[in-house]
Amino acid sequence: MKLITIFFYSILIGCSSATSTEEFKFLGVTTFSSKSWKDGGEELRALMIYDFLNNNHPYNTMTAEFVEDNLGNSEVYTVSDHIIAYAVKQGRDRYLISFIPETAHLTSEIKDVVIDKYPTL
């Protein structure tokens, strides 16, 4: 019975699609400021993303419009026009932070936020 319970919980955990806010903490922790984000470079943004996400979790409390109001217009081209994406940098490593909305509408809820490392050339 214990093995079945462990298997069941591992399936539930594996099916979870939302990225944990904690996955962004390695970039650093600095208090988020919309003005500083918009005026700052990729290094400063990397330090603020954890605080922004932590204060707006779960992600579906944000809309695409809210993200763009706070972080500015999407700056990185992605595979889909409605994904809102920003580049951040930590040391020599660059990362892409992508906000994935349910639909292409500005009032659409964010269903996930994903971090991907830029490939090195």
Sequential pLDDT tens for the chain (121 residues): 333 323 233 333 333 345 788 999 999 999 999 999 999 999 999 999 999 999 998 888 899 999 999 999 988 877 777 899 999 999 999 999 999 999 888 888 999 999 999 876 6
- pLDDT given for residue 18 in this prediction: 58
pTM of the predicted model as reported, rounded to 2 decimal places: 0.80
Q: Are 86 and 24 in contact (CB under 8 A)?
A: no
Q: What is the DSSP letter of 88?
A: E
- pLDDT given for residue 90 in this prediction: 94
- pLDDT given for residue 13 in this prediction: 32
N-term to C-term CA, the chain: 50
> CA-CA distances (angstroms) from residue 106 to 40, 89, 114, 121?
24, 27, 19, 35
